[in-house]
Amino acid sequence: MALLEVENLKTYFYTLRGVVRAVDGVSLTLEKGETLGIVGESGCGKSTLAWSLLRLVPPPGRIVDGSIRIDGQDITKMSESEVRRKIRWRRISMIFQGAMNALNPVYKVGEQIIEPMLLHGYSKKEAMEKAAELIKAVGLPTSILDRYPHELSGGQKQRVVIAMSLVLDPDIVIADEPTTALDVVVQAQILNLMKKLHWERKMSIILITHDLGVVTELSEKIAVMYAGKIVEFGTADQIFQNPLHPYTQALIRAVPRLKGDIHKLEYIPGSPPDLRNPPPGCRFAPRCKMAFEMCDKEPPLIEHEKGHYVACWLYAKR
């Protein structure tokens, strides 16, 4: 049994202008100690998937179908109080996107780190001791605990947010764009820190990003997401050495290379579809150079080779 099993997950936002199908039939698995990267353009549903895994989808959004099982236990069937007591931060936690805005400016860092521990039965003394351990684990001095967020640099804030995600020793940590708005030197430090924590704590990580360079640093498996659906899934080697879906191929061709032959960078014309009214069939077809008549029907996600899945009529049996 996998640590995390997501099956046919659908999360929709019910707005006055229509239903936004932000996550529309996503299935994936995550083993204990494994790292999974989820990549795709902005607006493809990556962050909504992360919020769904925590049962924290903001209104007017809600999970309308599918299951999210942690060690076989379906958290979509639990009450909010059960999720809060048993799952959130204990089994699965999140490094929120945009550390600059994730911290409350009027509370000291230490008060914000210990808050979840106090709600789960720790005494204030125990919570502060653990907060000091976590701050040191992410490479910061314990004096940081007595500072306000505005006194910290962007890299320090990101490390604080990482420490906050570890307060209850979760099995799974979701990192949503953990290197956004950081310079390349600090990005490298944050990625190295996450690698270190992954190996030391044997925790599973879901890394959400649109930066293929970042995902190669950390992820053993990669899911490529487009317009609310996973279009390709496999190991990092399979995705980068043998990309199957035209969308994956286009993303890789758009990344500059430091070694090898220099080619003109490509771009993907157009933009992701309006998820209130997505195109019929394959959602990438309007932007795909290889689209043909079958693409007006939705392609199934098939296993092209062991562990390598793709949703494209170029590989499906017709």
| pLDDT recorded at residue 102 | 83
Coil vs helix vs strand at 173 = strand
Coil vs helix vs strand at 160 = helix
**Which helix (DSSP H) or strand (DSSP E) does residue 176 occupy?**
strand 172-176
Coil vs helix vs strand at 19 = strand
Domains in the chain: boundaries: 4-91+170-310, 99-169
d(CA 270, CA 291): 15
Using the predicted structure, report yes or no on whether residue 230 has a pLDDT greater than 90: yes
d(CA 177, CA 190): 11
Using the predicted structure, report yes or no on whether residue 261 has a pLDDT greater than 80: no
Q: Dihedral, CA atoms, 159, 160, 164, 169, nearest 10 degrees?
A: 40
**How far is the CA of 164 from the CAs of 143, 160, 285, in angstroms?**
16, 6, 41
CA angle 278/227/98 to nearest 5° reads 135
d(CA 251, CA 25): 22
Dihedral of alpha carbons 173, 53, 99, 213, sign? positive
Mean pLDDT of 191-216: 89
Q: Which of 47, 64, 3 is nearest to 28 (CA)?
A: 3
Q: b or e along 162-189 (b: 16 or more beta carbons within 10 Å of the residue's beta carbon)?
A: bbbbbbbebbbbbbbbbbbebeeebbeb
CA angle 59/63/64 to nearest 5° reads 120
Band of pLDDT at residue 177, cut at 50, 70 and 90: confident
**CATH placement of domain 4-91+170-310:** 3.40.50.300
- pLDDT tens-digit profile of 93-151? 999 877 677 899 999 999 999 999 998 889 999 999 999 999 999 999 999 999 999 99
| pLDDT recorded at residue 260 | 67
**Cβ pair 95, 162 in contact under 8 A:** yes
d(CA 22, CA 274): 10
Coil vs helix vs strand at 100 = helix
Phi, psi dihedral angles at 93 (to 5 degrees): -135, 180
β-pairing verdict for 35-39 and 221-226? parallel
Mean pLDDT of 282-309: 93
Band of pLDDT at residue 189, cut at 50, 70 and 90: confident
